[in-house]
């Protein structure tokens, strides 16, 4: 009997992992060690880096060590700086991130994926995003500051000014809740590359390429642009009804795995209320109408709020331009990508090499084309 074919590998289990788990039926995201996302959302990003790579939350000494290592690995090396200097200001920021990470990894020349190398690439990703943003503005990249945490330093290097502590906390929550999400397309891409025996930097560069696709990394921007067109909370009802009447798509609703409200959306909605009150007011008004109408029109399938819906409000609330949304997501997710690769390699799993089904013309046993 033929092996069943599943388009997009939907529902097909291709790996085992302890890094994170999406319990879509119950609307839960569980990080390594059994921590529900609500339990760690207010933790520091450095703690989550340690958790995803080591399997438990760090004690004070372990946290200090992780923080020190992230700080140490922030600087771009000569190869990365040369690559950055050669990029035009018009380059897609995701292309810039991919290029800078590739150059940084080429000079490091570390072959085997390890937790230490995962920390290094995580540190570099944030700097690379900030560096390209400064480069395209013809502004120098401020030197990294050892007295600032990972997220605070990212904002400092991005904007070139002392980071506002409230903004740091808002963005840190975003980094924490988006650090990993089971086997997303970009994570699987990184894992495939790692399974071939390639280095960690190549795996992360491949993941960035996957995330660049608008079907994966572009949803936050699309949801933000949709809400910008509403015109205010008072227009929410007419906006949603008009959009649906024209068979338009409500961005930020529905998820392949979640059958309940995305827990990350619930957390970011609360952050958004402080970070971007006007955005939040419009988003809540639209959400109320959208959930009502989607439930009425599509009672057979849940289309609840997902992480992208409020994420744009948080990111814009801390001054991140829309075209850097995907890059910032990548900077937060790098540790998750890396953790999955390291886990796969350490378990000595087989190279990922799935089968395909032939749908071309019939071929005879003699090798002819059947004609």
> Which CATH number covers residue 32?
1.10.580.10
Tell me, yes or no, whether 196 and 256 share the same domain.
no
Tell me, yes or no, whether 71 and 166 share the same domain.
yes
Tell me, yes or no, whether 103 and 204 share the same domain.
yes
Tell me, yes or no, whether 191 and 299 share the same domain.
no
Tens-digit pLDDT profile for residues 200-239: 999 999 999 999 999 899 999 999 999 999 999 999 999 9
Tell me, yes or no, whether 25 and 84 share the same domain.
yes
| Residue 29, strand partner residues | 22
SS3 36: strand
Least confident of 131-140, 210-219, 256-265, 305-314: 256-265
Question: Quick one: which of 41, 151, 127 has its CA closest to 77?
Answer: 127
pLDDT band at residue 347 under the 50/70/90 scheme: confident
Residue 88 CB-half CA count within 13 A: 3
Tell me, yes or no, whether 226 and 132 share the same domain.
no
Report pLDDT for 202.
Answer: 97
Phi, psi (degrees; rounded to nearest 5) at 86: -85, -5
pLDDT value at 300 more than 90? no
pLDDT band at residue 365 under the 50/70/90 scheme: low
Report pLDDT for 292.
Answer: 95
What are the residues whose beta carbons fall under 8 Å from the beta carbon of 266, sequence distance 6 or more?
A: none
Report pLDDT for 259.
Answer: 75
pLDDT band at residue 163 under the 50/70/90 scheme: very high
Report pLDDT for 359.
Answer: 86
Tell me, yes or no, whether 128 and 230 share the same domain.
no
For residue 300, is it within any domain? yes
Alpha-carbon separation of residue 335 from 62, 200, 227 (angstroms): 17, 11, 30
Buried b (16+ CB within 10 A) or exposed e, 165-190: eebbbbbbbbbbbbbbbbbbbbbbbb
Q: How far is the C-alpha of 156 from the C-alpha of 170, rounded, in Å? A: 14
Catalytic residue list: 255, 308
CB atoms within 10 A of CB 33: 14
CB atoms within 10 A of CB 293: 17
pLDDT value at 185 more than 70? yes
Contact 193, 206 (CB under 8 A): yes
Tens-digit pLDDT profile for residues 75-123: 999 999 999 999 999 999 999 999 999 999 999 877 789 999 999 999 9
* pTM score of the predicted model: 0.94
Domain range holding 294? Answer: 219-317
- Give the number of domains in the chain: 2
pLDDT value at 340 more than 90? yes
Q: How far is the C-alpha of 58 from the C-alpha of 77, rounded, in Å? A: 29
Report pLDDT for 324.
Answer: 98
């Amino acid at each position: 009997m033929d092996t069943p074919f599943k388009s997009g590998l939907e529902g097909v289990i291709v790996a085992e992992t302890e890094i994170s788990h999406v319990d879509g039926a119950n609307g839960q995201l569980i990080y390594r060690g059994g921590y529900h996302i609500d339990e760690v959302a207010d933790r520091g990003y450095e703690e989550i880096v340690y958790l995803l790579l080591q399997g438990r939350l760090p004690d004070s000494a372990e946290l200090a060590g992780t923080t020190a290592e992230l700080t140490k690995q922030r600087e771009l090396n000569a190869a990365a700086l040369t690559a950055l200097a050669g990029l035009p200001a018009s380059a897609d920021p995701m292309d810039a991130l991919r290029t800078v990470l590739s150059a940084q990894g080429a000079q490091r020349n570390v072959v085997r994926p390890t937790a230490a190398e995962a920390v290094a690439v995580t540190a570099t990703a944030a700097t690379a995003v900030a560096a390209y943003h400064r480069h395209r503005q013809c502004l120098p990249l401020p030197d990294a500051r050892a007295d600032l945490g990972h997220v605070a330093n990212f904002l400092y290097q991005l904007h070139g000014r002392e980071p506002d502590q409230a903004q740091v906390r808002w963005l840190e929550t975003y980094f924490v809740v988006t650090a990993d999400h089971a086997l997303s397309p970009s994570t699987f891409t990184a894992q495939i590359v790692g399974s071939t025996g390639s280095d960690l930097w190549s795996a992360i560069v491949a993941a960035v390429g996957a995330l660049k696709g608008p079907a994966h990394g572009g949803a936050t921007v699309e949801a933000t642009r949709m809400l910008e067109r509403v015109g205010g909370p008072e227009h929410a009802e007419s906006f949603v009804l008009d959009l649906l009447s024209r068979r338009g798509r409500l961005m930020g609703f529905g998820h392949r795995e979640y059958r309940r409200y995305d827990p990350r959306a619930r957390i970011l909605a609360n952050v958004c209320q402080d970070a971007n009150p006007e955005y939040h007011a419009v988003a809540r008004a639209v959400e109320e109408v959208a959930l009502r109408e989607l439930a009425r029109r599509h009672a057979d399938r849940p289309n609840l709020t997902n992480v992208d819906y409020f994420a744009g409000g948080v990111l814009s609330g801390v001054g991140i331009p829309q075209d850097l949304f995907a890059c910032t997501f990548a900077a937060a997710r790098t540790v998750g990508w890396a953790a999955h690769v390291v886990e796969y390699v350490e378990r000595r799993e087989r190279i990922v090499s799935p089968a395909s089904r032939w749908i071309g013309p019939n071929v005879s046993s003699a090798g002819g084309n059947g004609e």
